[in-house]
């Protein structure tokens, strides 16, 4: 079947729709009672949620492990930063172009990565991200070297506007990704993850699907990077670092791999913990890595999967 | 009519010659057996036909189409479907999903509804319908073997390559599979079977080729093969 | 013109000396992958630990006016014991996730971040240095840093020692059996778990010792573990993940390449060039220069 037609039919349970509606309602009404601080942190959580979701698509579904996902995030951020500060393009314009650049990078990287497996893929993608990080530091005129670019415009001075904008974008991305993974396309990605050789024997062009997964993932990651730039106003070369890549990894793993929703949960958890602790000591990184270690050792399947098991929601009857 | 024509196929790995100048053909509605001692190159031959390996020399022609240039998924979509020696499935997907994956790649299927219908049809044929929502990692060996055939069938195969479909099965299960294979022949599908349990195989095949150290040493009806001196030597000399 | 060629030779010599250290760093990483099949991403953290233990030890022992060689030996032993033991403790903790390559990669990497943060918080992020113990020598217009030479020699001795150990001794052969085929080794009466524990500890030990050796040469900082990990990975892949003796030529090549790129082109490009070489190797020849065919 042609690629695009495979997105047409998907299956979503009614129970999940109820839960989802409740969560969306909560998130929408939250700004009414919440402190400004919480709204700001929420926006950060939404940005990273989108980033983490894009990573989940690649690993949790297609089985492609990328330790250099910050590459796409950073490219999206830098594109917006440069277009906005150097060319005076308004945020709306930047955010449309940024994902295209990151997708291009996704295409370039996916091709050699077709031949890499597991550890090599993980570290190869890390290597790509590091290369770009060095390049970002190197091309001072364009990127402002280590200090980065400052003074990037936000979408609006009104924080509520920004919150709802980012919330809507997150919901759109989530819905889109859910439709993708529950479609025939998503099923084939899972097949490739389960057994690539068998997938080929079943008539699946694994290269085409792996590249497609990369393209979609890098698109979304690039968009989240652009959203980051237009919220924080600053991008530095450290945005390409492995620590940032690892945020996507840890948020997804804590929340639940292969769920799309999991990364959102993971993002909220980690972002809130980090931000609350930022006020006290700079032990954020310590706490978040400690959390991840504990989760990996004791709830390796992630929070969402554990919750699902408790309520016995699943494919097998 | 020749469905498959293999001419002069050779493949070596480093210094080891796995398949050495093998030629044979398969006719429409024919069941061809491939036997030979371990390491004779049988599975390598399957890998070459289905595109998982590229031959060093020779041609493989399926109904006029040259296969050696094609990639595995393209060959599968043409209707040349294989199973694996060590039975494979997608462990964390249900039985239904396992078959659905293949039917989605079926060249005659153009929508998800069609694919699902086909999957159900095939599961019914193989007696797996009651297991359709079970994760394939929870199936017994016999059920997995049937799943493999179901999977292959959902692609509307014209040529089926079965690699040791009877391995590890009980006597009854073997008979079930053999009956299914014969039904498939009636549907117009040509079948090549690699097997070790020769006695059982000889009951259903029309012709047998024997491989030894990568070469084809015999090609003929079962009765002939069983009394062929070279074949007996190959097995005894092992 | 003549001066230029001296400069080039100088650059190359320094590059080669640096390369021996790279080789040593890589050997432990490659070893643990070859025997246990895991990608130990906290390897760099143990290197960093080795550096800091060395620093703390030298700074505190010096106040007792011990003679320098004595201080060096005590520090060496201290580093060796601490990194080995910590390695074993670490293995105990991560045992349950070792079945999955991806999970163990993530877990070990997070531990590295954890360790780096702990060191950063407790000891501060500033660069620390240890006073030099040896001077430089000028030979044929070349400035040779004796300290580097000694470090390089020790590194080479350790690598050669490991290679001989693995190929000639009984324990070494047992280790090789286990990495080839666990079941056959068990049939021969070798307990693979004991080998795994030993090898894991040895790899963290090597990381620590590499840290010990480098501390007198550079300024140490908490994030250096990550940089070392990157080096370890790159050189190992070039050599072929799993081979120890291959690390020496691979390390030398990397050191040389890096020095030449820094000199002829741009210091910033050296890492990029190395990365590109490594990616190329992974795609074209994944078994590396000296590894077994995958």
Task: Name the minimum distance, in Å, from the CA of B134 to any CA of chain A.
Answer: 6
The encoded tokens of residue C27 equal: 């050997």
Q: Tell me, yes or no, if A289 comes closer than 8 A to chain C by beta carbon.
A: yes
What SS3 state is found at B194?
strand
| C278 CA: distance to closest CA in chain A (Å) | 8
Interface contact C271-A134, CB threshold 8 A: yes
Taking the model in full, what pTM does it have? 0.88
Q: Would the CA dihedral through C83, C85, C91, C92 be positive or negative?
A: negative
Instruction: Name which of B54, B78, B89, B104 to mutate to probe chain A: the one with the most chain A Cβ atoms within 10 A of its Cβ.
Output: B104
Residue with the two structure tokens 């190929």: C167
What value does the mean pLDDT take over residues A189-214? 94
Which among A190, A206, A317 has the least Cβ separation from residue B93? A190
Whether residue B90 and residue A1 make contact (CB cut-off 8 A), yes or no, is: no
Q: Is residue C289 part of a domain?
A: no
Q: Does B155 sit within 8 Å of A203, measured CB to CB?
A: yes
For C119, the domain range is: 2-284
User: From the CA atom positions of chain B, what is the Rg in Å?
Assistant: 18
Which two structure tokens, joined as six digits, stand for B143?
């059920």
CA C208 to CA C76: how far, in whole Å? 9
Number of domains observed in the structure of chain C: 1
> Residue B168's Cα: distance from chain center in Å?
16
Nearest to B102 among A1, A8, A202 (CB): A202
- Across the interface, do B71 and A8 touch by the CB < 8 Å criterion? no
- Which tokens is A311 given? 């309520």
Q: What is the pLDDT of residue C294?
A: 44
A286 shares contact with chain C (CB less than 8 Å): yes
Question: CA-CA distance, A59 to A63, in Å (whole number)?
Answer: 4
Nearest CB partner across the interface for A203, out of B90, B105, B113: B105
Contact list in B for residue A1 (CB cut-off 8 A) is 104-105, 109-112, 115
Task: Indicate the residue of C110, C268, C279 with minimum beta-carbon distance to A134.
Answer: C268
ipTM (interface pTM) = 0.91
* Chain A residues in contact with B111 (beta carbon < 8 A): 1, 5
DSSP string, A242-306: HHHHHHHHHHHHHH-TT-SHHHHHHHHHHHHHHHHHHTT-S-HHHHHHHHHHHHHHH-TT-HHHH
Q: Where is pLDDT greater, at B6 or B233?
A: B6
In a domain? residue C194: yes
Domain assignment of residue C234, yes or no = yes
Contacts of A300 in chain C (CB under 8 A): 97, 103
Residues A53-85 have pLDDT tens digits of 999 999 999 999 999 999 999 999 999 998 888
* Closest residue of chain A to B82, computed from CA coordinates: A201
In a domain, C86, yes or no: yes
pLDDT greater than 60 at residue A316: no
| CA-based nearest distance B111→chain A, Å | 7
Q: Going residue by residue through chain C, which has 294 residues, state the pLDDT in tens, using 9 for 90 and above.
A: 566 677 788 888 888 888 999 999 999 999 888 888 888 899 999 999 999 998 888 888 777 766 777 788 888 898 999 999 999 999 888 887 777 777 788 888 888 888 888 888 888 888 888 777 666 777 776 777 788 888 888 889 998 998 888 888 888 888 887 777 777 777 777 787 888 888 899 999 999 999 998 888 888 888 888 889 988 988 998 888 888 888 899 999 999 988 888 888 877 777 888 888 888 888 888 777 887 654
> Taking residues A184-189, what's their average pLDDT?
94
Do B112 and A8 make contact, defined as CB atoms within 8 angstroms?
yes
* Rounded CA separation A58/A309 (Å): 23
Q: Which of A23-32, B121-130, B173-182, C211-220 shows the lowest mean pLDDT across its residues?
A: A23-32
The answer to whether the CB of A3 falls within 8 A of the CB of A204 is no
- Partners of B6 in the β-ladder: B24, B60
Chain A / chain C CB contacts < 8 angstroms: 94
Across the interface, whether the CB atoms of A296 and C102 are under 8 A apart is answered no
Nearest-CA residue of chain A relative to B98? A191
**Would the CB atoms of A201 and B71 count as touching at under 8 Å?**
no
Closest residue, chain C, to A247 (C-alpha) = C110
B positions 129-188 inside 8 Å of A (CB): 133-135, 151, 155
Q: Please say whether the beta carbons of A289 and A203 come within 8 A.
A: no
CATH number at residue C205: 1.10.3470
Q: Is C293 part of any domain?
A: no
Q: Is A5 on the interface with B (CB under 8 A)?
A: yes
Contact flag A201-B89 (C-beta cutoff 8 Å) = no
- Angle, helix A70-85 to helix A91-113, in steps of 10 degrees: 150
Decide if B50 touches A, using CB distance below 8 A: yes
Closest CA of chain C from A169, distance in Å: 29
Chain B residues with CB-CB distance to A315 below 8 A: 94, 133, 135
pLDDT at A51: 97
Task: For chain A, list the domains and their CATH numbers.
Answer: 44-240 (1.10.3470.10)
């Amino acid at each position: 079947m042609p690629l695009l037609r495979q997105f047409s039919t998907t299956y979503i349970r009614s129970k999940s729709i109820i839960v989802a509606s409740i969560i969306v309602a909560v998130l929408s009404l939250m700004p009414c009672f919440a402190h400004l601080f919480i709204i700001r942190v929420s926006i950060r959580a939404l940005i990273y949620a989108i980033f983490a979701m894009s990573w989940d698509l690649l690993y949790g579904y297609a089985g492609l492990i990328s330790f250099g996902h910050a590459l796409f995030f950073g490219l999206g951020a830098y594109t917006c930063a440069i277009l906005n500060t150097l060319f005076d393009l308004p945020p709306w314009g930047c955010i449309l172009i940024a994902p295209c650049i990151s997708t291009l990078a996704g295409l370039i990287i996916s091709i050699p990565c077709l031949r890499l497996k597991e550890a090599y893929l993980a570290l190869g993608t890390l290597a790509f991200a590091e290369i770009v990080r060095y390049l970002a530091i190197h091309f001072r005129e364009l990127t402002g070297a280590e200090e980065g670019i400052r003074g990037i415009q936000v979408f609006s001075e009104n924080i509520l506007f920004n919150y709802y904008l980012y919330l809507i974008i997150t919901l759109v991305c989530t819905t889109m990704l859910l439709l993708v993974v529950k479609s025939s396309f998503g099923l084939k990605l899972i097949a490739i993850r389960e057994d690539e050789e068998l997938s080929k024997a079943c008539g699946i062009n694994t290269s085409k699907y792996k590249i497609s997964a990369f393209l979609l993932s890098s698109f979304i990651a690039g968009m989240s990077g652009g959203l980051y730039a237009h919220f924080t106003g600053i991008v530095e070369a450290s945005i390409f670092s492995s620590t940032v890549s690892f945020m996507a990894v840890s948020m997804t793993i804590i929340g639940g791999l292969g769920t799309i929703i999991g990364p959102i949960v993971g993002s909220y958890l980690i972002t809130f913990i980090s931000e609350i602790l930022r006020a006290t000591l700079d032990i954020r990184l310590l706490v978040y890595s400690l959390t991840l270690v504990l989760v990996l050792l004791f709830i390796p399947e992630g929070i969402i999967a554990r919750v699902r098991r408790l309520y016995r929601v699943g494919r097998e009857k | 009519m020749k469905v498959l024509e293999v001419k002069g196929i050779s493949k070596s790995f480093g210094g080891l010659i796995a398949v050495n100048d093998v030629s044979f053909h398969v006719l429409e509605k024919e069941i061809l057996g491939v036997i030979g001692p371990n390491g004779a190159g049988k599975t390598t031959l399957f890998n070459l036909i289905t595109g998982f390996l590229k031959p060093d020399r020779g041609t493989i022609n399926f109904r006029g189409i040259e296969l050696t240039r094609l990639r595995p998924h393209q060959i599968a979509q043409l209707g040349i479907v294989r199973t694996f020696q060590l039975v494979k499935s997608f462990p964390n997907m249900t039985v239904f999903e396992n078959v659905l994956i293949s039917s989605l790649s079926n060249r005659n299927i153009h929508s998800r509804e069609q694919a699902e219908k086909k999957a159900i049809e095939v599961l019914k044929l193989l007696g797996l319908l009651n297991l359709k929502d079970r994760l394939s990692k929870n199936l017994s060996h016999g059920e997995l073997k049937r799943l493999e055939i179901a999977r292959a069938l959902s692609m509307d195969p014209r040529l089926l390559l079965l690699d040791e479909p009877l391995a590890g099965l009980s006597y009854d299960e073997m008979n079930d599979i053999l009956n299914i294979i014969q039904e498939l022949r009636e549907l117009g599908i040509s079948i090549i079977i690699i097997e070790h349990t020769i006695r059982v195989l000889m009951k259903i095949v029309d012709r047998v080729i024997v491989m030894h150290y990568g070469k084809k040493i015999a090609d003929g009806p079962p009765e002939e093969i069983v009394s062929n001196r070279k074949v007996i030597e190959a097995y005894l000399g092992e | 013109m003549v001066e230029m060629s001296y400069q080039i030779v100088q650059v190359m010599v320094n590059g080669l000396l640096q390369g021996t250290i790279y080789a040593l760093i890589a050997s432990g990483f490659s070893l643990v992958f070859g025997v246990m099949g895991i990608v130990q991403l906290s390897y760099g953290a143990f290197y960093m630990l080795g550096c800091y233990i060395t620093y703390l030890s030298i700074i505190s022992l010096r106040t007792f006016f011990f003679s320098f060689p004595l201080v060096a030996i005590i520090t060496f032993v201290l580093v060796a014991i601490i990194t080995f033991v910590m390695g074993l403790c670490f293995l105990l903790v991560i045992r349950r996730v070792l079945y999955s390559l991806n999970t163990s990669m993530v877990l070990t990497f997070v531990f590295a971040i954890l360790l780096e943060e702990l060191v950063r918080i407790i000891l501060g992020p500033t660069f620390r240095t240890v006073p030099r113990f040896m001077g430089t020598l000028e030979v044929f217009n070349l400035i040779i840093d004796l300290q580097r030479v000694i470090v390089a020699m020790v590194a080479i001795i350790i690598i050669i020692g490991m290679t001989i150990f693995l190929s000639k001794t009984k324990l070494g052969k047992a280790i090789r059996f286990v990495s080839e085929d666990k079941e056959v080794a068990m049939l021969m009466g070798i307990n693979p778990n004991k080998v795994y524990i030993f090898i894991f500890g040895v790899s963290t030990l090597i990381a620590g010792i590499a840290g010990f050796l480098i501390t007198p040469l550079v300024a140490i900082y908490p994030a250096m573990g990550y940089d070392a990990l990157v080096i370890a990975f790159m050189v190992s892949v070039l050599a072929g993940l799993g081979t120890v003796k291959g690390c020496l030529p691979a390390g030398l090549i990397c050191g040389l390449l890096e020095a030449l790129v820094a000199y002829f082109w741009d210091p910033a490009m050296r890492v990029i060039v190395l990365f590109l070489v490594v990616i190329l190797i992974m795609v074209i020849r994944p078994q590396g220069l000296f590894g077994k065919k995958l």
